[in-house]
Chains A and B, each alone.
Chain A
Amino acid sequence: MILKIALSIALLLYSVSTFLYLYRILKGPTTSDKVVALDSIGMNLVATVALLSMFYDTNAYLDVILLIALLAFIGTVSFSKFIEKGKVIDRERDN
């Protein structure tokens, strides 16, 4: 019971934190701010899914956790590359 209440509180806190990141995405003066906020939302989601799987008492979502962590990384890298070079995938250097 205590565990459930603790989990609920944690979930609520993460939600509030997600909202704050969302505010940063909407307001963030530069694109980099927004990308970092998105990355952080990804990490928040990792935590949220972990909490939820505890909440539902199942291990079916452990894949999801791993995947979000992975994809958030890929997403952030591609955004960063886009900001840096204007494109995501470089063409092979022509001879």
Chain B
Amino acid sequence: MSLLHLAIILPFVVAIIIPIIYKWTKKIHTGWLVLPVPIILFIYFLSFIPKTMNGSTVETFQWIPRYGINFTVVVDGLSLLFALLITGIGSLVVFYSIYYLGKNKERLNNFYAFLMIFMTAMLGVVLSDNLIVLYLFWELTSISSFLLIGYWYHRERSRYGARKSMMITVFGGLMMLGGFIMLHIMTDSFSIREILAASEAISQNALFIPAMILILLGAFTKSAQVPFHIWLPDAMEAPTPVSAYLHSATMVKAGIYVVARFTPLFALSPIWFWTIAIVGTTTLLWGSINATKKNDLKAILAYSTISQLGLIMTLLGIGAASLHFDNLSDDIYVLAIVAAVFHLFNHATFKGSLFMMVGIIDHETGTRDIRRLGGLMRIMPITATIAFIGTFAMAGLPPFNGFLSKEMFLESLLNLTKLNLWNADTWGILLLIVGFIASVFTFTYSMIIFFKTFTGKQKAYLLPKKPHEAPFGLLLSPAILAFLVLFIGIFPNVIAAPILEPAVKSIVPSLATNADFHIHIGLWHGITPALLMTVGIVILGTILYKTHRFWKPFITTRVPKKLRIGKSYDKGMSYLEQGSYRFTMTVMTGWLRTYLNYMLFAFIVLVLGSLILTDSLNLKFENLTSVTLVDFVLAAVILVTLIGIVFSKSRITSIILLGAMGYTISIFFVIARAPDLALTQLIIETISVVLYLLVFYHLPQFSNIEEKPRFFSVKTFLSIGIGITITLVALSAYDTTFYDSISQYYIDNTYKEAAGKNIVNVILVDFRGFDTLFETTVLAIASIGIFTMIKLRLTKRRDKNENQ
């Protein structure tokens, strides 16, 4: 186990320790104890930057080597980018949460334990090379996210949100597991690197497309793509640090990570390209439109996250085209990948700061409703500055980093129209238009967040608390992020070479050997079509913002009601519940006779079906013994008693007839020359008749509970069916013996070996005495059971005699 493994496990270990030491460290806020963990990890991962610029680091820990499941950790550019985001923003979030969550009110041991589990899980997802280990950590993110969303479990909405996110992400996770197993079937390996190396070979496999679709389902559910985005707005019931960390910067990008990771494999297929591009742009548009209709700041940010994730996804989809061109001299399709990675980083920074900003407002004013907020700029100037930077970066305005990645996004969409592959040059224009409209809406909701909150009239009477500027501790984390937003906006090349370039190289492997490839992000790239589009976005977005209150009712009430996917989820769940309830209630009647009907019906269908299907119906009557008159008479007696039992109206008649039948059967044994059987049969028959008589006293009259037997009922048909089935089976089984009987051995050896003349008894106690032993045991158990059932009455009133 290397240092790298320990780095991944470290938060998990801390999560185990935290609840233990929590009791003795009540005076210190638990967050201070946790804070060093992500900081140390962040510094540790920073030390990998020089290594990843030249290649990747691989460490293996044998876990289940027999099945090829090993905890292999690979640090390459893409993993490192994610690891730095997870640990870096993790540190900031932990610091922020120290001031956000009260020491006395909250159960901090739970919070930090969940958070640390999540951190381990997330690091495991991005650093694992083994598919099964990746899936393990993937599920761990779902579970820890479930715990964190339901942190305030006394709230109904929290529980609902946690459940919903769990259902959807676990559904996707299971689909992804299926995809992983298909990859394993195709390549006989769980290692991602080996699978990617074999991409050419498996792209022709029949399982290639199913595996792709299943893995995409997993990625889409995790990354909140349409139509699986519905869990993210409900996950906003979590504490704000959780929303900032999980639902903007890290977990929702796990799907992005998977898509990026498998791009070298699946990008060979046009289905990958089109699915991701279409789903991504749909998500982008849908999220941005929905964000404009919300009043809750966190809900706006949730939809904005959905929309931005769609944007990154679209870029990854477009970037898939780059794998089809060997000549990368012009780099126009690689640009999409660069833009995706860059925007991934940018989004984590500005969205994290925005969530923390909203948390501050919630903390200091008591509400997040933009209808109640306004004019906070003068009271909270620092928060307002942070919000200004965050929202304008999100809207894509210079000089912030969002501007650069948005320019690259628009340029990639423009390049798409030139792509001479998979009809992209004809349909790409549609994606361009959708991307443009979505950008306009993005601009609009960004403006709504900032201006509705911080400008305008102050409505102090609507606020639950008297607003004031937040303490330094709350402001530090978002301020650092906002500074990053600004800094990277002005000096984007600081991260280009050390972080973005290796990441792009691990997504597009052909670039890894290309020494000439260098990313250069220019702040000013001249007047390009993309810049003109940005100008158009700003103009249209401003118009939309100014007219927001006129068209907002239209969006809120009319359009989405028909398209609301969250509602169909709720309906689907309730239909599922009601449906299964109704199904259970119809099938599980509680009547034994119903279950007996099922069993008998299944028996008839299965036995008769297999008799006919396997063609084993064998009705030959050649080797039969001759039937004597006595046999006929006895059979007639049994038939008469049988009919008498079925149609008798009183119990006592049935019992007498049953006794008569039992005696007749013993005569059959006599005829068949089995004196021991006849003896036993007679005794048992008598005893059972007496037993029936014993319990008769306690039973009601027959006719009271049983209606007259009708001839045309299910029961009749089933009995006839069973009779016919058994008869056919017996007739077919007769005369299909393939070997001679082994009974000659017993006949020869009964006296010689076992010193007995009664062959039946010798078999029972000598040759096959073992069965007799256990049949004796059965009788013993039965008698003890009867004794217990009669004597032991725990619930009922005790007998008078026993009390004395």
Residues on A facing B (Cβ under 8 Å): 8, 11-12, 15, 18-19, 22, 25-26, 31, 34-35, 37-38, 41-42, 45, 48-49, 52-53, 56, 58, 60-61, 63-64, 67-68, 71, 74-75, 78-79, 82, 86-89, 94
Q: A12-B629, A49-B670 are in contact. Are A88 and B682 (CB under 8 A)?
A: no
CB pairs A–B below 8 angstroms (11 shown): A8-B629, A11-B630, A18-B633, A22-B640, A58-B673, A60-B673, A64-B678, A67-B682, A68-B663, A71-B685, A94-B801
Binary contact track B623-647/A, C-beta < 8 Å → 1, others 0: 0000001100110110011001000
Q: B679 to A67, Cβ gap below 8 A?
A: yes
Q: Is B656 an interface residue (CB 8 A)?
A: yes
Which of A12, A67, A87 has a CB less than 8 Å from the CB of B683? A67
9 extra A-B contacts, CB within 8 A, seeds A8-B629, A12-B633: A19-B636, A31-B652, A37-B656, A42-B663, A49-B670, A52-B670, A64-B679, A82-B693, A88-B690
Chain B residues with Cβ below 8 Å from A79 are 656, 693
Q: A78 to B693, Cβ gap below 8 A?
A: yes
A72 to chain B, nearest CB (A): 8
Q: Is B696 an interface residue (CB 8 A)?
A: yes
C-alpha gap A34/B686 in the complex (Å): 16
Q: Is B134 an interface residue (CB 8 A)?
A: no
The size of the chain B interface, using a CB distance under 8 A, is 36
Q: B657 to A25, Cβ gap below 8 A?
A: yes
C-alpha gap A19/B641 in the complex (Å): 10
Q: Which positions 659-686 of chain B face chain A at CB distance < 8 Å?
A: 659-660, 663, 666-667, 670-671, 673, 675, 678-679, 682-683, 685-686
Q: B653 to A88, Cβ gap below 8 A?
A: no
A55 to chain B, nearest CB (A): 9
Chain B residues with Cβ below 8 Å from A58 are 673
Chain A residues with Cβ below 8 Å from B629 are 8, 11-12
A88 to chain B, nearest CB (A): 5
Q: A71 to B679, Cβ gap below 8 A?
A: no
A-B contact count (CB 8 A): 102
Which of A12, A35, A63, A74 has a CB less than 8 Å from the CB of B686? A74
C-alpha gap A45/B656 in the complex (Å): 15
Residues on B facing A (Cβ under 8 Å): 629-630, 633-634, 636-637, 640-641, 644, 648, 652-653, 656-657, 659-660, 663, 666-667, 670-671, 673, 675, 678-679, 682-683, 685-686, 689-690, 693-694, 696-697, 801
Q: A25 to B644, Cβ gap below 8 A?
A: yes
Chain B residues with Cβ below 8 Å from A35 are 656
Q: A26 to B644, Cβ gap below 8 A?
A: yes
Q: A25-B656, A78-B690 are in contact. Are A64 and B670 (CB under 8 A)?
A: yes
Chain B residues with Cβ below 8 Å from A74 are 686, 690
Q: A75 to B690, Cβ gap below 8 A?
A: yes
C-alpha gap A35/B657 in the complex (Å): 10
Chain A residues with Cβ below 8 Å from B675 are 60-61, 63-64
C-alpha gap A6/B377 in the complex (Å): 125
C-alpha gap A31/B801 in the complex (Å): 36
Chain B residue nearest to A14 in the complex (CB): B633
Which of B648, B657, B686 has a CB less than 8 Å from the CB of A75? B686
B671 to chain A, nearest CB (A): 7
C-alpha gap A89/B695 in the complex (Å): 11
Q: For B652, B685, B690, B697, which residue has the most chain A Cβ atoms within 10 angstroms?
A: B690
